[in-house]
């Protein structure tokens, strides 16, 4: 994995962890992402909201393309 990929993986996993476990705000036990029948990734609303923040603009496309290989 290249340095840029490692940075993005760490950022994405930090977002998932803080949303699912870290801040206790994940009440409904919804998985962090799901896959459609055709394999498209759909992030849960809280994670998608964090990915949509301006500081994560470079992470959105990468996250959709790489989340399956991370988890």
Domain boundaries, the chain: 33-71
Across 41-49, average pLDDT: 91
Whole-prediction pTM value? 0.81
- pLDDT band of residue 12 (cuts 50, 70, 90) is very high
φ, ψ at 33 (rounded to 5°):
-155, 160
Q: State the average pLDDT for the chain.
A: 86
Six token digits for residue 48 = 């998608």
| DSSP string for residues in 9-60 | HHHHHHHHHIIIIITS---S---SEEE-TT--EEE-HHHHHHHTSGGGTTTH
Q: What is the pLDDT of residue 28?
A: 63
Across 16-20, average pLDDT: 85
C-alpha to C-alpha distance for 52 and 63, rounded to whole angstroms: 11
- pLDDT band of residue 23 (cuts 50, 70, 90) is low
Would you mind telling me the total number of residues written for the chain in this entry?
Answer: 71
């Amino acid at each position: 994995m290249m340095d840029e990929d490692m940075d993005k993986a760490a950022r994405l996993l930090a977002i998932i962890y803080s949303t699912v476990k870290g801040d206790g705000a994940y009440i409904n036990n919804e998985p962090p992402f799901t896959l459609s029948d055709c394999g498209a990734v759909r992030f849960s609303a809280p994670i998608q909201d964090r990915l949509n923040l301006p500081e994560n603009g470079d992470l959105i496309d990468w996250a959709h393309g790489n989340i399956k290989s991370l988890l």
